[in-house]
Amino acid sequence: MRVTTDICCGSGILHASGPALVEVEVIAFSKSPRYVFLEMGPDDAAHKPHIVLLPDSQFLGGGFDKIGDATIWFRRLENGCDEQSVPWRRVDKSIVTYSDQSISFELDVPAGVRVQVSTEPPRPYPETVLMLESIVKHHPDIAQLHVLGRSIEGRPIFLLRVTDNVRLKGAPGCEDCPVLLFTAGEHATEFAGEEVTRGMLQAALASDGQGRLRRRSCVMDFVLTCNPDGNVNGWHQYNATDWKNHDYAPGVDRSWHHEFGSYLSGTAACVSPETRAVADWITTTSPRFVHTAHSWESKGDHMGVYRSSADESDVELVRVMASLDEAAASAAAAHGINLVFRPLGGMSKGHLPHYLVVEKGIPSCSVEAHPAHDRAALASFGADLFAGWVNVVLASLGRNKSQPMVGS
């Protein structure tokens, strides 16, 4: 039986790949071994392999202790199917055996069918590009695609701009209303965060009255795949440079996304083109709010919001950050999501949200989504979160016409 991780977004080291036993070592990126994506089949005969996930043998930070009883996802792809329309389903946890050193279960692989297995259902970069191009094709008056730059391996980093009369307001620096920026895929395989951002994008494109009002009131920019090399290669939190240099030390070798603060402040050069592409767009467009989406491997299924504390002397910013928290809590409650709030600090001081709040006084935060939730639930939460946050930011801008800009 064919078993491989050599697919777009694939990740894992195969130790056994027969019809009876599939063993996969889950590569550790920075903090823990958590992301795997493999494909089995097709074969002329049906099989039911025993699948064993093993923690990275070189990782210094332990086994599967951080992810606990992680949700395992699978889908079956019949010959000739539209892969993007085939839903991912949870492996019933009652048939999964969990320990710190292994996660194991059995799964049916029907004859002639490919079965994909992952801890976080992926969104392959090529499919995302096709989706963005389709949005522009079907919404030419409100959606425009930009290339911010190219990754280390040369892949375009796309931004979708959504606003009314986009032909006049689409060029960076030509906006006549506030710019709001929403990014995902900085940590390449944190796809739950991308699902939240996709829900936000759908809300921005909505044809109802609220959608039209938002497009008249602001310019909404979306980057779904900030790190296309990491996406395609299944490198989780890394870009190509981090993957080349990584040393398995817990939490110390995912350097590229810590460059935002030093690069935007002019205190250090930027070595990663992915960072530079997003940061230069920010300098040109001066967004009044920035959200970066992530996901985490915490036990359970709760989500989080990370943000830095505003200077208490900036009364309006303190009020806005508190209102953003309230809007997030309200959206989470409406969807039955346990949401926790945590401060950015430590290595996060180089992160974009920290720099914008602390150094520029601009509202910014990060959502940590959880891959235990399915795509529809994450997108629905994202749409409601987006609605609440946009309302908060626009209300603040109405009160304070002199809010600082990134480039000022």
93, 144: one domain = no
Residue 250 falls inside a structural domain: yes
Shortest CA distance to 117 belongs to which of 102, 125, 107?
107
- The helix or strand, by DSSP H or E, that contains position 176, with its residue range, turns out to be none
244, 318: one domain = yes
Kindly report the number of other CB atoms within 10 A of residue 193's CB atom.
Answer: 30
What pLDDT is attached to residue 401? 55
| Number of residues assigned to the chain | 408
CATH of the domain at 259: 3.40.630.10
What pLDDT is attached to residue 250? 46
Question: What pTM does this model have?
Answer: 0.94
Neighbouring C-alpha atoms within 13 Å toward the C-beta of 86: 17
- As for how many domains the chain has, the answer is 2
54, 180: one domain = no
Residue 101 falls inside a structural domain: yes
- For 79-164, strand residue ranges (E) read 89-90, 97-99, 102-106, 113-118, 143-150, 156-162
Residue 158 DSSP class: E
CATH of the domain at 103: 2.60.40.3120
56, 200: one domain = no
Residue 345 falls inside a structural domain: yes
67, 160: one domain = no
103, 178: one domain = no
> How are beta strands 28-29 and 3-4 bridged, if at all?
unpaired
End-of-domain residue from the set 118, 149, 175: 118
Residue 404 falls inside a structural domain: no
Residue 395 falls inside a structural domain: yes
Residue 102 falls inside a structural domain: yes
30, 133: one domain = no
Amino acid residing at 360: K
Q: Is the peptide bond before 42 cis (omega within 30 degrees of 0)?
A: yes
193, 332: one domain = yes
Show the domain range for 235.
125-399
275, 366: one domain = yes
Residue 235 falls inside a structural domain: yes
Kindly report the number of other CB atoms within 10 A of residue 312's CB atom.
Answer: 8
End-of-domain residue from the set 118, 141, 175: 118
Beta bridge partners of 307: 343
What pLDDT is attached to residue 244? 65
387: helix, strand or coil: helix
Give alpha helix (H) positions in 95-239: 125-138, 166-169, 191-205, 209-217, 228-233
User: pLDDT 10s per residue in the chain (408 long)?
Assistant: 999 999 999 999 999 999 999 999 998 766 677 899 999 999 999 999 999 999 988 776 678 877 778 999 999 999 989 998 999 999 999 999 999 899 999 999 999 999 999 999 999 999 999 999 999 999 999 999 999 999 999 999 999 999 998 888 778 888 889 999 999 999 899 999 999 999 999 999 999 999 999 999 999 999 999 999 999 999 887 777 766 666 555 444 455 567 788 888 888 777 788 988 999 999 999 999 999 999 987 778 899 999 988 888 899 999 999 999 999 999 999 999 999 999 876 556 678 898 899 989 999 999 999 999 999 999 999 999 999 999 999 999 886 655 555 544
146, 59: one domain = no
Q: How far is CA 154 from CA 51, 150, 396, in A?
A: 35, 5, 39
End-of-domain residue from the set 66, 84, 118: 118
Neighbouring C-alpha atoms within 13 Å toward the C-beta of 18: 3
Residue 366 falls inside a structural domain: yes
174, 323: one domain = yes
Assign residue 386 a region: left if phi > 0, alpha if psi is -120 to 50, beta otherwise? alpha
CA 211/CA 368 separation, integer angstroms: 25
Residue 404 has which token pair?
């600082």
Residue whose tokens read 């280390």: 152
Beta bridge partners of 99: 102
CA 83/CA 80 separation, integer angstroms: 9
104, 139: one domain = no
